[in-house]
Amino acid sequence: MEQIEKEKEASRLIKLIRGKFGEYGDVEMPLNQIKIISDMLEPYCYGGGLIKMIEITCYKCEKCSKIYTDKEFAKKCCTPKYCEYCKCELPHKYYYTACDSCREKCKYERAEKIDFKDYIKNNPNGWITTKCGHIISVDELIDRIEDGEAFDYVYGTNVQYIEINYDQIITQLQEEVMFEDDFEIFSNEQLNEICEFASNWNAKNRFKYYEEDRKVAIII
């Protein structure tokens, strides 16, 4: 079997298996399992129509019945988790190892502290990030402070630009044709054309937006 056909067959089978797992809800499929499946595909060849039966061991959480291919994930599923700093119990399915308030404390401690007056001096038309993660203008912050809202500190912002990502487009195009039976490879000329268009568009349209700069805490 040609390498490319093997890869196509592997992705098809993995998709199929993932679909089956999907029926059980949130099932994680670790990469090593996917690798095992790809390796087992050897006898699954086109012409001969041979199919090798494979079995995967799964683990079910006794409490919520979710199924995992990874034993350690299954074990941890419904066991209570605690904040690594204050030891309070974390909500079920909480992604972080520390609670919201401890995470905020750490974030603030790590940030460089700047006085609000100094920040305004350097960023007269600037933007800031509130503790809840909202990006607002310095003017709006001043208005809200004057209206009596309490801010002890906020975070800074970084300028970002919205750009067409050339690599992502090419990858997406190539992924799409890979699943067709009669796919053709794009020529270098065709790909270069997309690259050129993206570069020109990005240079011409500098769409600005702001994102949180958690390295700077502005003391109000």
Can residue 217 be called a binding residue for Zn ion (CB under 5 A)? no
The residue among 89 and 118 lying less far from Zn ion, judged by its C-beta, is: 89
The residue among 85 and 186 lying less far from Zn ion, judged by its C-beta, is: 85
**Binding window for Zn ion (CB under 5 A); candidates: 9-17, 37-45, 63-71, 129-137:** 63-71
**Residue 165 φ/ψ, nearest 5 degrees:** -95, 105
The residue among 105 and 214 lying less far from Zn ion, judged by its C-beta, is: 105
The residue among 101 and 165 lying less far from Zn ion, judged by its C-beta, is: 101
Measured from the CB of residue 57, what is the shortest distance to Zn ion in angstroms? 18
Say if residues 41 and 54 touch (Cβ distance below 8 Å).
no
Can residue 36 be called a binding residue for Zn ion (CB under 5 A)? no
Q: Site for Zn ion (CB under 5 A): which residue of 1, 37, 78, 220?
A: 78
The residue among 78 and 114 lying less far from Zn ion, judged by its C-beta, is: 78
Can residue 83 be called a binding residue for Zn ion (CB under 5 A)? yes
**Binding window for Zn ion (CB under 5 A); candidates: 19-27, 34-42, 57-65, 131-139:** 57-65
Number of residues that bind Zn ion (CB under 5 A): 11
- Nearest Cα neighbor of 88 from 77, 102, 76 is 102
Q: Site for Zn ion (CB under 5 A): which residue of 59, 73, 85, 151?
A: 85
CA distances (Å), origin 109, targets 50, 57, 104, 113, 128: 61, 45, 9, 9, 18
Can residue 27 be called a binding residue for Zn ion (CB under 5 A)? no
